[in-house]
Structure 1
Amino acid sequence: MSEQDLNAQNIENEESVEQVEAEEVEAEEVEAAEGTVETGEDRIAELEKELKATKELVASQQDSVLRGKAEVENMRRRVSQDVEKAHKFALNKFANELLPVVDNLERALAAADKESEHTKAMVEGVEMTLNSMLSALEKSGVTPINPKGETFNPELHQAMTMIEVPGAEPNSVIDVMQKGFELNGRLLRPAMVVVAKGNGVDTNA
């Protein structure tokens, strides 16, 4: 083999080696690229998982905040109602203490001789005192229950006796022995009444 042929063969061998090396480098680059893609996909999946967990946490916290807000609102409403009731019915005991005074003044007027000149001034004084007392009670939310002529109501009236009254509607109140009173719609004392005989009335109500 001539020297020229040897040189040509060496050059060809070198080119083959270079080609093999180039192919190996290309294969490594492709493998590295594929690894990078796989790593990127894993990272994206991890980020998506973290995002989902974060969204769930935020939703849970929002729900907790809304529930807490609703509980605070309910508590505020209950406190407001309790305060309103306390204001409304703070006079309950005091009003009950005054009712016997009203009863006594009314009894005094009923027993007084209104025609006598000797007692006229006293009767007028008692009437003025009674009216002032009733006016003061009414301003505080205390109102009388005087159901004469009305149908008997066991929630507001206490039947003391029942009698037959010709022409009277059965179960109607024909007389009030003692007025009842309410405080802002709440019963303080039932009215003691006489009821016309009829069906369904319980004198122990």
Structure 2
Amino acid sequence: MAEKMKKKSDEILDELEKEGKKEANSKDEKIMDAEEVNGEAETLTDKIDKIEAEVEEWKQAYLRKQADFQNFTKRKEKEAEELRKYASEKVMSKVIEAVDNLERGVAASSETKDFDSLVKGVEMTLSQMHGIMNEEGVEAIKTEGQKFDPNLHMAVIAEDSPEHEDDDIILELQKGYKLKGKVIRPSMVKVCKK
């Protein structure tokens, strides 16, 4: 019986030893699993930090681009305002020269009472003004021998005329002008209506 008990005791010890080894192996595996999880967690944390840094970098780049665009828009608005403000500067410089010539002519003819020279000076100034207008793309609208066109002419008077056909322009009362093809002032005309 002592032998049986020893055998039983050895079996129990073997079993306990096996269970202890299993438990130790399980603990080692759990320790290794925990280490792996910690390692993966650190890797994921690093990736998250990297992505957050990248997102912040993109956000800052976006904000800089947005600020650049706002500055660009303000600069373009200011340039457009300056352009509108001084658009007529070139033309007005030329007109001022014509006005200077006209003033000199009036002053000279007032002193000498030479009205023929005054008329000649006015004609020269008028010629200078027409030159300025041509340089800037302003042209007179033709009316003589033309049919009435509501896009170019404004009928102020309508009357029957045996010498003209219906809608013929009989007389130009005030010249009309186009600027580079666009009507800026229609011609005021007398039109034949039958």
- State the TM-score, normalized to the length of structure 2: 0.53
CA–CA separation in structure 1 for the residues paired with 2:78 and 2:91: 22
Q: Which of 51, 54, 59 is matched with 1:54 structurally?
A: 51
Give me the identity figure in percent.
22
1:12 counterpart = 2:9: yes
CA–CA separation in structure 2 for the residues paired with 1:6 and 1:32: 38
Q: Which 4+ runs in 1 deviate beyond 6 A?
A: none
Q: CA deviation at 1:105?
A: 2.9
CA–CA separation in structure 1 for the residues paired with 2:106 and 2:4: 150
Match of 1:104 in 2: 101
Match of 1:31 in 2: 28
Deviations 1:21-46 (A, max 9, x none): 11111111110111121012101211
CA–CA separation in structure 2 for the residues paired with 1:52 and 1:59: 10
CA–CA separation in structure 1 for the residues paired with 2:110 and 2:11: 148
- State the TM-score, normalized to the length of structure 1: 0.51
CA–CA separation in structure 1 for the residues paired with 2:73 and 2:99: 39
Q: CA deviation at 1:108?
A: 3.4
Amino acid at match of 2:54: L
CA–CA separation in structure 1 for the residues paired with 2:79 and 2:2: 114
CA 1:5–1:113 in structure 2 vs 1: closer, same or farther (change >3 Å)? closer
Q: CA deviation at 1:113?
A: 3.9
CA–CA separation in structure 2 for the residues paired with 1:113 and 1:12: 148
Determine which structure has greater relative contact order: mean sequence separation of CA pairs < 8 Å that are 6+ residues apart, divided by chain length: 1
CA–CA separation in structure 2 for the residues paired with 1:65 and 1:46: 28
Amino acid at match of 1:68: K
SS at match of 2:49: helix
Number of aligned positions between the proteins? 118
Match of 2:68 in 1: 71
The structure richer in helix per residue is: 2
Q: CA deviation at 1:15?
A: 0.7
1:83 counterpart = 2:88: no
CA–CA separation in structure 2 for the residues paired with 1:103 and 1:16: 128
Amino acid at match of 2:85: K
CA–CA separation in structure 2 for the residues paired with 1:9 and 1:97: 130
CA–CA separation in structure 2 for the residues paired with 1:41 and 1:67: 39
CA–CA separation in structure 2 for the residues paired with 1:15 and 1:100: 125
Amino acid at match of 2:61: S
1:45 counterpart = 2:45: no
CA–CA separation in structure 1 for the residues paired with 2:53 and 2:3: 74
